[in-house]
Amino acid sequence: MPITYLVTQSSVPDEKSVFATVESAYVVPARSRMDGTILELEVHQGDHVEQGQVIATVGDRKLSLQINSYAAQVQAAEAQSAQAKVDFDRAQRLVTQGAIARNAYDQAHTAYDVALSNLKSINAQRSVVQQQVTEGKILAPTAGRVITVPVTAGTVVLNGDTVATVAEKDFVLRLEVPERHARFLKAGDPIRLESNDTGSTPRFGAIKLVYPQIENGHVVADASVGGLTDYFVGERVPVWVAAGTRTTIIIPGHLLTTRFGIDYARLWQKAGPALDVPVQRGESHWTARVTDGVEVLSGLKQGDRLLTP
């Protein structure tokens, strides 16, 4: 008996084609922390930012006026405290000599304490205003790409207004699978991403999250695929996902020959010469048994033995 290949049936994933959208795993808004006007806008849509980078600067003219006012009040309070310190030191010397009454010493001591407290209060109020000026710098909340910038320089913003939205570096594919395939989806299932460029090698990934809710007859799932940074956020791409399994016949591709557009397989017969039987070729499949496998839709059955052409 010559060396033959035994035809058997194999279980393969039943792949379905769906569309997926390139999305950011997290989109974080950069918000203003004070009321004012956008003085400087440092970023534009599509720019890459690092966490803590200054995106924009919000200013308020009233704050500069308040700072100048507090600076003058601090100078006056420092002069008052210095005079109160001189009066207190003089009263302290005189009371030890018995030149003044104890009541006058206590008044000088109290006046000095009040002057120091007044100076501390004004400094604290000035620090509050200076902190508000510091909070006018809007920082990037995370590292990533700027998606939207709904303001321009000169725009008036309020506390909590969004100045920009930043998408994190990690992109995911958001799939919408028909609900009839929902029970087949689970985390860890492989997916195949078709490239838009003809002849390019497809990319592979895996489902990492299946949302437990059906919306408009579709199940939403997130998949991770490497190298999505060259896609636009919101771009739609075709994806193949496994929707269960099916039984089919897979044979090595080198056992098929093509003549005049028809595929043939050489069938060994126990009695009689080998026959070239026409078969219908399907998609290519890789299995542990057959590395160059090709699906055969018709023309062969389990138990047949094939010869090398």
- pLDDT tens string, the chain, 309 residues long: the values are 678 888 888 887 777 888 888 887 778 899 988 888 888 899 988 888 899 899 998 887 777 777 788 888 888 888 988 988 888 888 888 888 777 788 888 888 898 889 889 889 988 888 887 777 777 889 999 888 888 899 998 888 898 899 999 987 677 888 888 888 777 788 888 888 766 554 456 678 888 888 888 888 888 888 888 766 666 777 888 888 877 778 888 888 888 999 999 999 999 888 888 889 999 998 887 665 677 788 899 999 999 998 888
| 254: its two tokens | 């080198």
Between CA 174 and CA 49 the distance in angstroms is 24
Task: Label residue 231 left, alpha or beta by phi (over 0 means left) and psi (-120 to 50 means alpha).
Answer: beta
Q: How much is the pLDDT for 288?
A: 58
Q: Which residues, 6 or more positions from 149, have their beta carbon under 8 angstroms from its beta carbon?
A: 41, 43, 44, 45, 163, 164
Highest CATH level, class, for 61-134: mainly alpha
- Residue range 27-59+136-167, CATH number: 2.40.50.100
Q: How much is the pLDDT for 230?
A: 62
Q: Does this chain's domain 5-22+170-307 share its CATH topology with 27-59+136-167?
A: no
Q: Which residue stretches of 139-199 are H helix? A: none
The residue extents of the domains of the chain are 5-22+170-307, 27-59+136-167, 61-134
- Alpha carbon separation from 107 to 71, 78, 112, 273, 280 (Å, rounded): 28, 19, 9, 128, 110
Tell me the pTM: 0.50
- Give the closest residue to 189 by CA, choosing from 178, 201, 203, 205: 205
Q: How much is the pLDDT for 35?
A: 86
- Residue range 5-22+170-307, CATH number: 2.40.30.170
**Would you say 130 and 115 are in contact if contact means Cβ atoms under 8 Å apart?**
no
How many other CB atoms are there within 10 angstroms of residue 253's CB atom?
14
